Amino acid sequence: MELHNSGAEIYVPDGSPVDAALARTTHLAVSAHQDDIEIMAYHGILECFGRPDRGFTGVTVTNGSGSPRDGLYGKYTDVEMQVVRRKEQKKAAFVGDYSAHVFLDYSSGAIKDKANAQVVNDLKKIIAASKPQVIYTHNLADKHDTHVATALRIIHALRELPPDSRPQHLYGCEVWRSLDWLNDNDKVIFNVEAHENLAMSLVGVFDSQVCGGKRYDLATMGRRRANATYLASHGVDESTSLIFATDLTPLMNDGQFDAGEYIQGFIKRFAQEVSSRIAKLA
């Protein structure tokens, strides 16, 4: 497959041919950075883990050049940092038994540039070759510009593909903002309590991000635990670990639906829920 950037790469942990690795994909995750997938799309990894009839493929759109660095990595140049981050993502792909991991190698600026057609073209090629049933990406209420831009590019790519090349579900997941605030009937709820050891390994291999005091590994596991415990105030917990998502499928299938308006619908329903409780009790 010809991808736009010369530094783009498709890594296949089990060494099988790239075309075959992409073709066996059933669950695809598209993230801005190395490590986002293991934080937000663990549900997809879990759905495919140890299942010969399923395959999980990750796509990271940026090259990781602007990554924060400290400690062991404090003196690393941008180029050295890109090498470290790609290596860490490959470790995760190996541990998680991914079918493939695609590195598109764009700068953050290129992803945020809405006029950049190359990113959308690369995404279209990957989706057409992998024909996943489910795609996970960032949610539109995330507070990181590159994350939201990534979600918008994947929606754009999917709208340009014929309907039979689109997945059945497109989900926007949690990284830089939890989705605990969504009304419960607006939440897509993924139970991810299985293989906790695997979940911890997947967020733990990104040493360059955790080193320096950002404990994404502990925070991610804690968020999942908090989601499970605080979902319902009555009764015992039905799961010890949940990931929340927004359903972006309607946006993918209706090219006229404005992304801003779509996420505002969730925010308005949340505002109404808060107001109606106050009105009832005040």
Kindly indicate which of the ranges 1-9, 18-26, 27-35, 195-203 contains the residues binding Zn ion, using the contact rule CB under 5 A.
Answer: 27-35
Q: Is 112 an interacting residue with respect to Zn ion (CB under 5 A)?
A: no
Shortest Cβ 40–Zn ion spacing (Å):
9
235 contact partners, CB below 8 Å, separation of at least 6: none
C-alpha count within 13 angstroms, C-beta hemisphere, residue 104: 26
Q: Is 43 an interacting residue with respect to Zn ion (CB under 5 A)?
A: no
Written as one letter, the residue type at 234 is H
Pick the closer one to Zn ion by CB: 154 or 228. 154
**Interface with Zn ion (CB under 5 A), residue from 36, 88, 122, 217:** 36
Distance from CA of residue 196 to its chain's centroid? 19
Return the residue nearest Zn ion (CB atom). 33
**Interface with Zn ion (CB under 5 A), residue from 30, 32, 102, 140:** 32
Pick the closer one to Zn ion by CB: 21 or 81. 81
**Interface with Zn ion (CB under 5 A), residue from 27, 33, 153, 224:** 33
| Sheet of strand 100-106: strand arrangement | 9-11, 100-106, 56-62, 27-31, 134-138, 169-173, 242-247, 188-191
Kindly indicate which of the ranges 4-12, 22-30, 32-40, 231-239 contains the residues binding Zn ion, using the contact rule CB under 5 A.
Answer: 32-40
Q: Which of 31, 26, 25 is nearest to 174 (CA)?
A: 31
Q: Is 37 an interacting residue with respect to Zn ion (CB under 5 A)?
A: no
Shortest Cβ 150–Zn ion spacing (Å):
8
Pick the closer one to Zn ion by CB: 12 or 39. 39
Kindly indicate which of the ranges 26-34, 91-99, 181-189, 248-256 contains the residues binding Zn ion, using the contact rule CB under 5 A.
Answer: 26-34
How many Å apart are CA 50 and CA 34, to the nearest integer?
A: 23
**Are 192 and 241 a contacting pair, CB within 8 Å?**
yes
Q: Is 88 an interacting residue with respect to Zn ion (CB under 5 A)?
A: no
Shortest Cβ 195–Zn ion spacing (Å):
23
**Are 166 and 132 a contacting pair, CB within 8 Å?**
no
Pick the closer one to Zn ion by CB: 36 or 47. 36
Contacts 24+ apart (CB under 8 A), 146-152: 146/32, 146/33, 146/62, 146/108, 146/111, 146/112, 147/31, 147/32, 147/36, 147/175, 147/176, 149/32, 149/111, 149/112, 149/114, 150/30, 150/31, 150/32, 150/61, 150/111, 151/248, 151/259, 152/114, 152/259
Tell me the two tokens of residue 200: 């911890």
Pick the closer one to Zn ion by CB: 36 or 217. 36
Q: Total residues contacting Zn ion (rule CB under 5 A)?
A: 3
Kindly indicate which of the ranges 34-42, 77-85, 94-102, 111-119 contains the residues binding Zn ion, using the contact rule CB under 5 A.
Answer: 34-42
Residues 145-204 that bind Zn ion (CB under 5 A): none
Per CB under 5 A, residues contacting Zn ion are 32-33, 36
